């Protein structure tokens, strides 16, 4: 590993290609529509890839509460995602 030297980094922002894809996908805007606890559980479980137990420890909740919260957050997220009908050939 090499330490990051900001003064020699040609990028204007410290973003990665993955950051750009997430920003351009509208995912951040969708997450912004959710309640704070919904957004937090999804970020911890999906983006940070934490287990149920790890997420529960971070959030100060039981594993069962995290499962329930995640389910509710995903259901809420589905209401904000536009769906299109796929046509059959």
Cα dihedral 79, 68, 70, 84 sign: negative
Name which of 32, 79, 81 is nearest 40 in CA terms. Answer: 32
Average confidence score pLDDT of the chain: 80
Task: Determine the pLDDT at residue 38.
Answer: 95
Non-local (6+) Cβ contacts of 34 within 8 A are 42, 73, 76, 77, 80
CB of 52 closer than 8 Å to CB of 44: no
Low-confidence ranges of the chain (pLDDT < 50): none
Task: Determine the pLDDT at residue 7.
Answer: 73
Task: Determine the pLDDT at residue 61.
Answer: 97
Task: Determine the pLDDT at residue 85.
Answer: 53
Task: Determine the pLDDT at residue 21.
Answer: 56
């Amino acid at each position: 590993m090499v330490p990051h030297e900001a003064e020699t980094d040609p990028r204007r922002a410290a973003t990665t290609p993955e950051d750009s894809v997430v920003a351009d996908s509208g995912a951040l805007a969708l997450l912004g529509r959710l309640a704070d606890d919904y957004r937090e559980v999804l970020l911890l479980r999906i983006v940070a890839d934490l287990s149920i137990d790890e997420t529960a420890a971070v959030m100060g909740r039981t594993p069962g509460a995290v499962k329930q919260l995640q389910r509710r957050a995903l259901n809420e997220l589905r209401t904000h995602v536009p769906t299109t009908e796929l046509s059959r050939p």
